Chain A
Amino acid sequence: MLLADARALCPELAAVPADPAGDLAALEKLALWAQRWGPWSALDPPDGLLVDVTGAAHLFGGEERLLGDVARAFAARGFTVRPALAPTAGAAWALSHYGRGAAILAPQDDPLRLLADLPVAALRLDDDVLTVLRRLGIKRLGELAGVSGAGDDPVQEAAARDALRRRFRNRHSPAANPLLRLDQLLGRVPEPLLPVIARAMPLVQRRLMEPLRHRALLDTVLADLAAAMVRELEARGEGARRLELALWRVDGEVLQRRIELAAATREAAHITRLFAARLDDVDAGFGIEMVQLRASWSEPLHLAQTDLDAAAEDHGTALAACIDRLTVRLGPKAVTRPVSRASHIPERAQGWQPPLAPVPASQQALAFHTRPLKLLDRPEPIAVLYASPDGIPQRFRWRGAVHEVVRVEGPERIAPEWWRERSTTRLRDYYRIEDEAGRRYWIYRLGIAGDGRGGVPDWFLQGLCA
């Protein structure tokens, strides 16, 4: 029926917008409040509460008195309540919704006998299942379970169960399977419930021995509170999104200051700084005697290793950490340490190994062997334009530029390593040269004329001297 039609029928109708979220929130609060009767409670939306009162009824003087207390407490707050008490949640729900008022199902009673008269809707089933059952002609729990009248017939009961099982064998959800709901009601299968647990708001406060009247003292107290709040939040693994500061004055006035944060934070200095800007207009009056800080909205915030980074910022990283960072980004082959190897050939006399690996023992290089500062990865051929009578280039071209050789030292002959190279490998005659501009190079001639291992020897430039 539309609201307009309803108003036409009954003009004094009061219309209130539905607020399902608000109802649920209220129900949550009610569930927490209902924990006065039992250690834990669960929601049964939209309008039910389940409280576990196992072993708690004697505190109220028995089960009847407990239910009476419940009815009184709710009535005092303006709620209409239909309390019921049973060994299982399903039975309690059925009694509460379809039984008489304040019904109690004692543990020694047979639930099926006592509940046989209730409609099948007492099983918390979906509407379409109820329709199916109604079409099958099953209206009461007793008919569903196969018990009717006073006579107890196990065969008939088993046949009814079997029929139900086969009829609803594809339904796995409890709300769609009457047999499952029946078993839950009888306590044959467990029915897990989601309890409502109160999470206390992070709250720190300081009662002050002397009322505060000065801003500097208030700032100190605030910094102290912020540090305590940070510890509190850290223990819960949360960061504050909204913080409320309450200042109790001596005359009973309470001043409130509230900040909201863009991201969950847990930094005492940040919190202090934000509040300091909001405390300028506080009127302390005769003094502030209590300060309270609470985080009314907090979000999970994981611990970050700020300390480690800060230490690295202040004192620098260790060598191993530095090598690790370089290796991770550049690859393990990019970060190396040169080590000498047992070879005469210059490019083979030097190897590269991981920087922190132990350096293998090696023979010292001979001190009178002068080596260049840098070696090219691959010796580059040079074109000799003019050679002196003893065969040393006087003028050569390398990388497109002509170099005039002014000074020469050499040759230093390095024979091929016959134990690892082929017999046709030619020897090398190394020369250190300096050209007219003072550039110093290390060049070699590959082979000598008439060594029977090739034609005219080529010249190569291998190293750059400092």
Chain B
Amino acid sequence: MPSTVFRPSPARVLARGLPEPRWRPGLVAQPFHSEIFAPADEASGAGLALALARDALTSSGEGRGEDDRQVLWVQDRAAIRQGGRPCLAGLSPELAHRLIHVAAATPEDALFALEEGLKCRDIACVIGEIAGNPRALSFTASRRLSLTAERHGVRLWLVRLDAQPDLSSARMRWQARSAPSAAPRWNPAAPGPASWQAELFRARAHAPGQWMLSDDAGTLRIRHDPDLDSAAAPDPRYLARPTVGRSLAARTHA
């Protein structure tokens, strides 16, 4: 008979931290099971899930330094058909080399893969994509995922494509859709960095709210006003090089 050492769930430990009434990126206490409802004909759900995952991993200190743990991305067949598979060249460089993709035939298999991934100690986080409201993804199934995630301390972001927000035990539930992006400085006619209109409609520790989020070179940020913000779009630093001594204008002013 193995001795059972009582170990409190990490979720309960984290919940004892300072309560933050308003959600913002970079919170230390991050939930272990989140759901993101997104339309299937855009990649906003997966994009926001990855951005939130990176935000959680960096702010909770797990992803500090060289994090070589794998990221499991589980999709069921309907999600692959509607939304496609992850593209290696489009992923962020710190994620591209450690992604494991699971193409599950049915939602049941996808749930199995999600749970197995949550049980694994060598996995940084699990991203799931399940299309619609399958019968298998009941409240019991989501509760199972929540408990597994909290027990093993692996975070799960479950993207629900074209799904109705039914009963679920996810600790944070988002409604996401794409938002017009900020215009890049050097080509205002081109699409800018990824932006999402995200609505947090259920959370344990936070009040519900709505944000315009954008992925600013790998960091999740809140865009306060899209109209004002469009002028000050992210500007790659290496382009603004000082031109001391070479520029004719500098010479004239001197």
Residues of chain A at the chain B interface (Cβ within 8 Å): 267-269, 306-307, 310, 312, 314-319, 321-323, 325-326, 329-330, 333-340, 346, 349-350, 352, 355, 359, 365, 369-377, 398-399, 401, 406-409, 432-434, 436-440, 463-466
B122 to chain A: which residues have CB within 8 Å? Answer: 316, 318-319, 322
Contact assessment for B215 and A466 in the assembled complex, using a CB-CB cutoff below 8 Å: yes
Question: What is the interface of chain A mostly: helix, strand, loop, or mixed?
Answer: mixed
Q: Which residue of B lies closest to A331 (CB)?
A: B105
Q: Which of B154-208 contact A (CB under 8 A)?
A: 154, 177-181, 183, 187, 189-192, 194-195, 197
Known: A316-B120, A409-B190. A464 touches B50 (CB 8 A): no
> In this complex, what residue of B is CB-closest to A365?
B89
Do B46 and A318 have beta carbons less than 8 Å apart? no
Interface presence of B152 (CB below 8 A): yes
Q: Given that A312-B119, A374-B87, A463-B90 are known contacts, is A319 also in contact with B70, CB under 8 Å in the complex?
A: yes
In chain A, what residue has the closest Cβ to B215? A466
Identify which of residues 49-97 in chain B touch chain A, using a CB-to-CB cut-off of 8 Å.
50-51, 70, 80-81, 83-91, 96-97
Hey, which chain B residues are within 8 Å of A269, CB to CB?
1
CB-CB < 8 A to A466: which residues of B?
43-44, 46-48, 50-51, 90, 194, 215
Task: Determine if B116 is an interface residue (Cβ-Cβ < 8 Å).
Answer: yes
B121, A338: Cβ atoms closer than 8 Å: no
Inter-subunit contact B105/A334 (CB<8 Å): yes
Of the candidates A267, A310, A319, the one having the most CB atoms from chain B within 10 angstroms of its own CB is A319
Please give the distance in Å from B226's CB to the nearest CB on chain A. 9
Which of B80, B190, B215 lies in contact with A407, CB distance below 8 A? B190
Contact (Cβ within 8 A) A373 B46:
yes
Once the chains bind, are A438 and B179 in contact (CB under 8 Å)? yes
Docked CA distance A350–B116 (Å): 26
Measured CB to CB, the closest approach of chain B to A423, in angstroms, equals 27
Structural contact, B121 and A316, CB atoms closer than 8 A? yes
B102, CB-defined interface residue at 8 Å: yes
CB distance B190 to A322 under 8 Å?
A: no
Further contacts, 13 of them, CB under 8 A, given A374-B43, A466-B215: A316-B120, A316-B152, A316-B154, A318-B120, A323-B100, A326-B117, A337-B100, A340-B89, A372-B87, A373-B46, A377-B84, A407-B190, A466-B44
- Residues A376 and B84 in contact in the complex (CB < 8 Å), given A319-B70, A330-B105, A336-B103: yes
B23 within 8 A of A: no
B89 surroundings in chain A (CB, below 8 A) = 340, 346, 349-350, 365, 369, 371
Instruction: Assess the B102–A326 pair: CB atoms within 8 A.
Output: yes
- 9 smallest CB-CB distances across A and B, nearest first, come from A466-B47, A316-B121, A409-B190, A319-B122, A464-B43, A322-B120, A371-B90, A371-B89, A434-B191
Find out whether the CB atom of A373 lies under 8 angstroms from the CB atom of B152: no
For B83, the closest partner residue in chain A by CB is A374
**In which size bucket is the chain B interface?**
35 or more
| Assembled-state Cα–Cα distance A205/B105 (Å) | 58
Q: How far is the CB of B99 from chain A (nearest CB, A)?
A: 6
- Which residues of A are found within 8 Å of B43, using beta-carbon distances? 372-374, 440, 464-466
What is the bound-complex CA distance between A317 and B119, given in angstroms?
Answer: 6
Q: CA–CA, A369 to B89, complex, Å?
A: 9
Partner of B85, one of A349, A365, A377, A439: A377
| Chain B CB within 10 A, most for which of A339, A370, A434 | A434
Kindly state whether residue B113 has any CB partner on chain A within 8 Å: yes
- Compute how far the CA of A372 lies from the CA of B89 in the bound complex, rounded to whole angstroms: 8
In the assembled complex, 8 residue pairs joining A and B whose CB atoms fall closer than 8 Å, in A order, are A269-B1, A312-B119, A334-B102, A336-B102, A406-B180, A409-B187, A463-B84, A463-B87
Asked if B90 and A373 sit within 8 Å, CB to CB, the answer is: yes
Assembly CA distance A330 to B187 (angstroms): 46
**How far is it, in angstroms, between the C-alpha of A323 and the C-alpha of B88 when the chains are bound?**
20
In the assembled complex, B24 has its CB within 8 A of some CB on chain A = no
Which chain A positions have C-beta within 8 A of B194? 373, 440, 465-466
User: Is the Cβ of B100 less than 8 Å from the Cβ of A336?
Assistant: yes
CA distance A466 to B120 in the complex (A): 28
A352 near B87: Cβ-Cβ < 8 Å = no
Taking the complex as formed, is B17 at the interface, i.e. its CB lies under 8 A from any CB of chain A?
Answer: no
Of the candidates A318, A355, A373, A466, the one having the most CB atoms from chain B within 10 angstroms of its own CB is A466
A275 CB to nearest B CB, Å: 15
With the chains together, A316 CA to B149 CA distance in Å? 11
Q: Decide if B84 touches A374 in the complex (CB within 8 Å).
A: yes
